Chains A and B, each alone.
Chain A
């Protein structure tokens, strides 16, 4: 059914994204004759070994520095399109990240091929079907590809668990970078890691997340204290990220990160579908909210109806810490 399955292996400032190994692990289970990865940018040559260990028999690379200086969409899509024209893969798996969306969106427009986004799983049998969840993961949709190939699918982070395959080195094929002059019209001139972006939000065994119910951005200090005591990381709802309380790197949900920690503590988060889609896979969920009707309680193992700031302060004390003073939006008056 499938001859060649490819994975778009994303690089973030020279480092291979975790999604590349997750997608390759899935790709090699689809029964295709060949699995290949496309990895573009400085760091691609170094990433090839790891991609090979996870099932890529061929890795198409380019280490042209322009890939890191320009937005990924144009140059990566043009380079990938040339490879597609030459090798005609049946299916390409992309991460649903900012960069993955930038490249996949251009590829499907360029080639006029179908795209299925927000995938959680994929199966290849009589047909190739992608499972995705819609409406805040309340419904599961199975969509089959039809028509012209390559079919393009984008997957939410952590949809698959990366596992190495046999230690066979991949064939590395260096390819010419298609850097058109018009791609240079948009350039990356600076980068900053968000100050509070602990590296571990997606890996942390405990995530302490805050929402509007904390009432004051200063109360995030209590969440950091609690997270430190539990060796966890701090997350946030979209509402408080949009309000500028905390950086986007902390956002958990549909348009943020997907986390699956051992314990997720939602503090003052109502549980809008936008948020729950990014955390409902957590092993244990604790919710603290003033509103007993808040939807977050429908999926919490333990729900506490009360003021999140007070409960967290007491919890910090219980764990041997000294909570900082709670802030309230009207404390200044």
Chain B
């Protein structure tokens, strides 16, 4: 089985993100970059399927040069090889461009299953998995909370606002997985050593036969959101419950 996992390197989500006020793009300088924690679930899902049913996992990413670090982490977890599409023309790429690039990189080799997170933890656009599926001409089984595979059919518990749906799908398809679908493994020391010698291709847009598309949107202003005023904070000396009762009375809840 040929499994592709799409990954993204993002600014460390534990540090608050910032937009460059001049360029209106994500500020990446001086911020630690990490493999999007949401992508680790997709990598784990791919590795588990490959271990149980044979085949290999390759990771595909788009981003600046240093995104190789994120791919190396996926390789250290156990993926067989990686592809990074890096091109100056892709700075500030929108969701559709991202999907086009990833779909083209995926299509270079045979694929049975493409696994993604449900959204990136920095941009949160949340439509790239579906856009990739459209471009590849395959179903998108989205928001998987758990998954099973019997060798030909994927059975997925899909979590939505209204409950859980059980979805069955054949291959090939795109599968987006939520955090919590599994427990991602840590890279072993051996995995980290091996990752250094695993194949990692760097491609430019022209290698994929693509060129940068027209710009469909422009950020015109970025301003801080109005802050809520912090109220009073008390240590719980036994009076916490009464203070909450008083607030509930003021709010006319009781």
The judgment on whether A and B are partners is: yes
B169 within 8 A of A: yes
Q: Is the CB of B126 within 8 A of A96?
A: yes
Give chain A nearest CB distance to B88 CB in angstroms: 21
Q: Given known contacts A135-B18, A244-B180, is B247 in contact with A284 (CB within 8 Å)?
A: yes
Q: Is A30 an interface residue (CB 8 A)?
A: no
| A117 touching B124 in the complex, CB below 8 Å, given contacts A248-B145, A318-B245 | yes
A186-B139, A302-B232 known; A265 and B96 CB under 8 Å? no
* Chain A residues, CB < 8 A from B241: 311, 314-315, 317-318
CB neighbours (8 Å) of B99 from chain A are: 105, 109
Q: Which of A37-45, A171-179, A213-221, A293-301 contacts B (4 or more CB under 8 A)?
A: A293-301
User: How many A-B contacts if CB must be within 8 Å?
Assistant: 292
Contacting residues of chain A (144-182) with chain B, CB-CB under 8 angstroms: 144-148, 151, 154, 182
Distance, CA A104 to CA B138, complexed state (A): 16
Q: Which residues of B contact A146 (CB under 8 A)?
A: 214-218
B247 and A299 contacting across the interface, CB-CB below 8 Å? no
Q: Which residue of A lies closest to B221 (CB)?
A: A142
Quick one: which of B24, B179, B236 contacts A238, CB cutoff 8 A? Answer: B179
- The answer to whether B236 and A305 touch across the interface, beta carbons within 8 angstroms, is yes
Q: Contact: B160 with A99, CB < 8 Å?
A: yes
Q: Is the CB of B161 within 8 A of A263?
A: no
Report yes or no: B127 in contact with A143, Cβ–Cβ below 8 A.
Answer: no
For residue B201, CB closer than 8 A to chain A, the reply is no
Q: In angstroms, how far is the closest chain A Cβ from the Cβ of B247?
A: 5
Which residues 225-265 of A sit at the B interface, judged by CB distance below 8 A?
A: 230, 238, 241-244, 247-249, 254-255, 257, 262-263, 265
A101 to chain B, nearest CB (A): 5
- Residue of chain A at shortest CB distance from B242: A318
B127: A residues at CB distance < 8 A = 101, 104-105, 108, 115, 117, 154
Are B217 and A144 in contact (CB-based, < 8 A)? yes
Q: A98-B142, A114-B94, A138-B224 are in contact. Are A305 and B217 (CB under 8 A)?
A: no
Q: Which of B46-54, B77-85, B104-112, B129-137 is the interface stretch?
A: B129-137
Task: Let me know if B233 and A292 touch, CB within 8 A.
Answer: yes
Residues of chain A within 8 A (CB-CB) of B141 are 71, 186
Cross-chain contact B163 with A192 (CB below 8 angstroms):
yes
Tell me the minimal C-beta distance from B195 to chain A in angstroms: 26
Range, interface on chain A = 35 or more
Chain B binding surface SS class: mixed
- A332 proximity list for chain B (CB < 8 A): none
Q: How far is the CB of B33 from the nearest CB of chain A, in Å?
A: 16
Contacts of A73 in B (CB 8 A): 130, 133-134, 139-140, 142
Judge whether A115 and B94 touch: CB under 8 Å.
yes
Task: Give Cα A141 to B124, complex, Å.
Answer: 13
Given contacts A71-B142, A139-B225, A298-B230, contact A306 B236 (CB under 8 A): yes
User: Does residue B235 face the partner (Cβ distance < 8 Å to A)?
Assistant: yes
Quick check: A194 and B164 within 8 Å, CB to CB? yes
B220 near A302: Cβ-Cβ < 8 Å: no
Q: Is the CB of B134 within 8 A of A262?
A: no
Given the known A-B contacts A112-B213, A135-B18, A318-B241, are A105 and B165 also in contact in the complex, defined by CB atoms under 8 Å? no
20 extra A-B contacts, CB within 8 A, seeds A109-B100, A303-B233: A73-B134, A73-B139, A98-B161, A99-B160, A104-B127, A105-B128, A134-B19, A141-B221, A146-B214, A146-B218, A182-B138, A242-B180, A262-B253, A273-B16, A288-B240, A292-B235, A299-B230, A300-B230, A301-B247, A314-B241
Q: A: which residues have CB within 8 A of B?
A: 12-13, 71, 73-74, 77, 96-99, 101-106, 108-110, 112-118, 129, 133-148, 151, 154, 182-183, 185-194, 197, 205-206, 230, 238, 241-244, 247-249, 254-255, 257, 262-263, 265, 273, 280, 283-286, 288, 292, 297-307, 310-311, 314-315, 317-319
- 13 A-B pairs, CB-CB below 8 angstroms? A71-B141, A96-B126, A98-B142, A146-B218, A188-B165, A190-B166, A191-B165, A284-B247, A286-B247, A288-B240, A300-B231, A302-B247, A311-B236
Interface residues in chain B, defined as those with a beta carbon under 8 Å from any beta carbon in chain A: 16-19, 24, 94-96, 99-100, 118-119, 124-135, 137-143, 145, 158-170, 173, 178-180, 213-225, 227-228, 230-236, 238, 240-245, 247-248, 250-254
